[in-house]
Structure 1
Amino acid sequence: MPELFEYPCHEPGCLSPALGWTDKCELCYAVWCSNHNTKENHPCIALYDLDDLQEYHDRSVDIKLTARKNKITRVIQQVATNKEILLSDLKSLRPDHQPSLTIPDYESLEESDWFGGFNVHFLVIFEDGVKWVLRVRQSDQAPIPNEVINDILLSEVSTLNYLSKHNIPVPKAWLPRYLRENEEDIHRPPFPFAYFFCEFLTGKPVHAHELTSLPEKKMIDFANEFCKLQIAISNIPLPFKKIGSLLPERTKSGELRLGPIFNRGTFMKVSSPYFFGPFKTNKERYLAHIDATLEYITKGALLKSRIIQDYLWHLELRELVEASSILDQPPEAVFFKHADERGDHLLMNDKGHIVGVLDWEWSYITTKEEAFAAPFNFGKDTVFRREGDNSIRPLEQHLIRAYENLGRPDLGDCVKNGKLYSRLSMIGYYSGIWDKKGFREVFGKDTPADLQPPDKEYDRVVYFMKRYQSKIGLQKLLKQENWTLEKAEEQAKRAKVEDGKEEENEARLREEDRLKREKKEEQYRLLMEEVDRISGVNSDSVSDVDL
């Protein structure tokens, strides 16, 4: 999910801000306010009218690749234009050494896979063979506020260096000159682009879908490697008792402080200060996230077509979090949590050892239970999302055994009970096809006894509109959307009739299928009898052959 700020509309002269998933196009990256996000102004919208799915796919991919090429090419050009300034910055960090900065063209950069969704990387080589990386944050037609960019850079560099200091295989990192000299000025414009330097690490990134489909022996080996890494992280002392992200002290003393949690999506505010925290408990933290999400929903920034359902579901999550005793426990100690654990943040060598951990932007400090729950993508699959299945997956089972074998059953318990945090990581997202029982199940005995909504989505809407009818925010939203309980009940009534027709139609089709099978079986029996009569083979022999 992208950052949800108010961006200027792409339409010349328009002063209306754009806010929301659909306002910032994921294909062409252009930003349009609600008034100008039309087919006439924004050609990508017309793609939804295509009946041919293959044509829709091909044209969407073409637009996306073209926009990505243009965006990355702009970064390459910016780096090339400011090459001498960057080299000067490098020399100030290693005064007695001569750096060289490689600036490839787009095709070479794409082939090397040195850019992702947020950053572009360029190789730096000093004359003594030392290799660094220039890590540049991508920018597009909707620039991110300087305060946000600078805070994220400060946090990531602080985190990398603290982890490196405690022998975790992460690259050491160096802030750019404009932040080294003015750390306290978070509003300072980044260079003309945001960047920092870090050590070059060897290794090959892995992906979650590869890990979850490994042969059992390799999966066990990976689980052991991953658990060793996590145990090392668990042994890092942190002088905090709250939940937040690392930042350097403003005094340049080299000490660290705990700031808010830097995040994307709905865990932020539209205006400065953009982020929340630090927090005393995870209950406090998740309630803040849900409340921020409710605000975004009301502003129409998320699912505009299912705005009522989205709001009601988050009210249900809020009730569950509010009732949770586990989330209400202040941490006795806190631990690092990587916030983008897709698998490709891990670098592995040819022997299957983890030799590097990358992409620590948005990382934060949290409770042991959350920090060492299995990464979301290690147990995410269709049945987890659609059927609400919270069972432990094979890779997670191997993690539990590995922790136990390595003498840390307490971390294995974090995996066993970690589905709570997998579910909470879906705050800000909503889908009508998800089975919501899976979200209630992870709260266990803390789930309110009377919270028993029906399964059908249209019945759930009525149920929760009645349950939360006293909520001021819901009242305002219903008025804003011109929606009432009576309308919801009428809609549910019509939906039940349609469901009945579908069930009746399915029953009719099943009956027709049964009659066809019986007719075919009768024809086959008569044919076999004719064969028996002609050949003299008895029916038992035919049955034996048939079996």
Structure 2
Amino acid sequence: MLLCSIPNCNKFRVRRTACVLCQRCLCLEHLKPQFHTCPSYQIEEQEDAYFEGIRKAQLEEFDRLRSTLDFVALRERASSLKGGTNCSIPFETSDSPVHDMVGGMNYHFPILFEDGVTWICRVRRQSPPPELQDAIIESEVATMRFLASIGVPVPKVHDFSVHINQGSIGMPYILMDMVKGRPLDWNAASEAAKEYVLEQLADIFICLSQHPFPSIGCLYPSDDTSLKVGPLTFDDHVDQNSDGTLSLLGPFTDWQSYLRALIKRNLQFILDGKAYTDARVDAYLVHLTLRDSLPALATFCTHSDGEFFLKHMDDKGDHILIDDSFKIVSIIDWEWAQLVPKPDAFAAPLFLLDIGQYYDGNNQLSTHEILFAKILEDKGRRGLAHAVMHGRVHHRIAHCIGGDVDNLDDFPKLFSGLQEFILAETDWSIWKESALKKYRLDTGLQNLLLAL
């Protein structure tokens, strides 16, 4: 399941290192250059070979998808769901255009009905273990159906299938409406258009704030057609038990327990060689510091009152589809959505941040964050406005736990922004020297230092 792709290697794969060229996930040993020989875009003389490899790998990936899917069964299923209306799937033929199908995690290919209606079939691009893939699909469908039921604009889900009941089409999938809209390009929009988008987004925040849940986790369907809160489905939080089953985190009834579990898992990943292979000591020290900072960080989440709310978790702006008048027609890509405390759920979406200042460690709010808070305040939602105005700490936490510690160009400044909230040392070198002394008796740190 989560093992190295090399035959007969029983070591765990390193996370976030899946090679798009050879389609393998390798362990720490087999990532070494003598074993993994694919070209890298980071090496100038290998750049052309890398991008040619990307093109070739994508074509091979399409061929594998075509050979796996039973298009006849899929057409019959879609047609039956739409009252017998005939349909076609352009991707079925090898000369169909495919560049618009590819997302970061999924393929989306259209199903065209004779009456002019178009649906989308969504299938996983980089498949995690079947058990996890099923949980991701079930949670995403439950989330989208919940959102539709409360009036949040999302594509209508017509059907889905998981490994347990995938029938004859060959793989799990989701069938949903194709929404006519384009991804929001925040930077290209006029100030008037931005304010209009924020007015609509404020109404969506208000709607979500009216539907609390009792714990932190992901939404799943329950046996009685209602919803239940279950474990987190985000790939980076998943581990494997000794018996081969997956270990999913959650649900949780309080914020500290949630963060503590994430930190503990990342610490274990580092010790097991599953993460941060180029910065294991730095990453370990960061997560030890985060663990010991939880009591101080908890003061920024004192207004959750045991209620938790749905958050998109990947709100960079392109998840919002708009029409030509900047009306929000749909919000998409809910597969990472989860329930979190109110101060986290209603912090400003990431696309409102001044990214340059944010990555420099500056915690000052952007003008659009302040505008969004004002819009919420004007709508009589002071609590939501407060969450936006005081949401920076939640952005910092999200980017530091399991963050890109091995990116030493950006991460030290990101981390300094979080340290500022707890009045800790913000200079990376001084902090690291102090942390090495503070945790010198930690067995895990000692082992990592010996392995250098």
Provide structure 2 residue ranges, at least 5 long, that are not aligned to the other structure: none
Q: Determine helix, strand or coil for the equivalent of 1:135.
A: strand
Aligned partner of 2:180 among 202, 205, 213: 202
Aligned partner of 1:75 among 49, 65, 70: 65
Aligned: 1:218 with 2:197? no
CA shift for structure 1 position 40: 4.1
TM-score normalized by the length of structure 2: 0.88
Aligned partner of 1:368 among 342, 366, 375: 342
- Assess if the C-alpha contact under 8 Å between 2:161 and 2:172 holds in 1: no
Q: Compare CA radii of gyration and give the structure with the larger one.
A: 1
Q: Which amino acid aligns with 1:83?
A: F
Specify whether residues 365 and 100 from structure 1 end up closer, same or farther in structure 2 by C-alpha distance, changes over 3 A only: same
Match of 2:278 in 1: 305
Q: Determine helix, strand or coil for the equivalent of 1:400.
A: helix
Specify whether residues 292 and 327 from structure 1 end up closer, same or farther in structure 2 by C-alpha distance, changes over 3 A only: farther
- Assess if the C-alpha contact under 8 Å between 2:110 and 2:118 holds in 1: yes
CA RMSD of aligned residues (A): 2.8
Aligned: 1:381 with 2:355? yes
Match of 2:416 in 1: 437
Match of 1:514 in 2: none
Aligned: 1:290 with 2:263? yes
- Assess if the C-alpha contact under 8 Å between 1:241 and 1:331 holds in 2: no
Distance 2:439 2:34 in 1: 40
Aligned: 1:120 with 2:111? no
Distance 2:47 2:253 in 1: 46
CA shift for structure 1 position 137: 1.2
- 1:177-220 deviations in whole A, cap 9, x for unaligned? 567xx57xxxx8996322111122111112xxx31454433322
CA shift for structure 1 position 147: 0.7
Q: Which amino acid aligns with 1:114?
A: M
TM-score normalized by the length of structure 1: 0.74
Aligned: 1:398 with 2:374? no
Aligned partner of 2:324 among 350, 368, 380: 350
Q: Determine helix, strand or coil for the equivalent of 1:17.
A: coil
CA shift for structure 1 position 245: 0.7
Distance 1:388 1:126 in 2: 51
Distance 1:230 1:372 in 2: 7
Aligned partner of 1:20 among 14, 18, 39: 14
- 1:104-138 deviations in whole A, cap 9, x for unaligned? 65774444x23211111222234444432111111
Q: Determine helix, strand or coil for the equivalent of 1:347.
A: strand
- Residue correspondence of structure 1 range 135-154 to structure 2 within 5 A: 135-139=122-126, 143-154=127-138
Distance 1:190 1:422 in 2: 43
Distance 1:104 1:380 in 2: 43
Match of 2:227 in 1: 256
Match of 1:453 in 2: 425
Q: Determine helix, strand or coil for the equivalent of 2:197.
A: helix
Q: Determine helix, strand or coil for the equivalent of 2:278.
A: helix
Distance 2:72 2:169 in 1: 13
Q: Determine helix, strand or coil for the equivalent of 1:133.
A: strand
Aligned partner of 1:420 among 393, 396, 404: 393
Specify whether residues 268 and 59 from structure 1 end up closer, same or farther in structure 2 by C-alpha distance, changes over 3 A only: same
Q: Which amino acid aligns with 2:417?
A: G
Aligned: 1:88 with 2:63? no
- 1:406-452 deviations in whole A, cap 9, x for unaligned? 3323212111111111111111121434223311223xxxx3xxx74
- Assess if the C-alpha contact under 8 Å between 1:89 and 1:176 holds in 2: no
Aligned: 1:44 with 2:34? no
Distance 1:190 1:467 in 2: 58
Distance 1:318 1:128 in 2: 57
- 1:5-36 deviations in whole A, cap 9, x for unaligned? 623433xx432334214752255432333333
Match of 1:62 in 2: 52
CA shift for structure 1 position 157: 0.7
- Assess if the C-alpha contact under 8 Å between 1:282 and 1:328 holds in 2: no
Aligned: 1:155 with 2:139? yes
Q: Determine helix, strand or coil for the equivalent of 1:7.
A: coil
Match of 2:2 in 1: 6
Tell me the number of residue pairs that the alignment of Structure 1 and Structure 2 aligns: 442
Quick one: percent identity of the two aligned structures? Answer: 25
Aligned: 1:173 with 2:157? yes
Distance 1:158 1:361 in 2: 10
Match of 1:335 in 2: 309
Specify whether residues 269 and 178 from structure 1 end up closer, same or farther in structure 2 by C-alpha distance, changes over 3 A only: closer
- 1:438-483 deviations in whole A, cap 9, x for unaligned? 11223xxxx3xxx7437252x433311222345xxx3133224317
Match of 1:482 in 2: 450
CA shift for structure 1 position 173: 1.2
Q: Which amino acid aligns with 1:364?
A: Q
Aligned: 1:462 with 2:415? no
- Assess if the C-alpha contact under 8 Å between 1:69 and 1:106 holds in 2: no
Aligned: 1:35 with 2:29? yes
Q: Determine helix, strand or coil for the equivalent of 1:326.
A: helix
Specify whether residues 46 and 414 from structure 1 end up closer, same or farther in structure 2 by C-alpha distance, changes over 3 A only: closer
Q: Determine helix, strand or coil for the equivalent of 1:305.
A: coil
- 1:231-284 deviations in whole A, cap 9, x for unaligned? 23333x34x3111111111x3x2111110121132x222343332111111211
Distance 2:431 2:128 in 1: 38
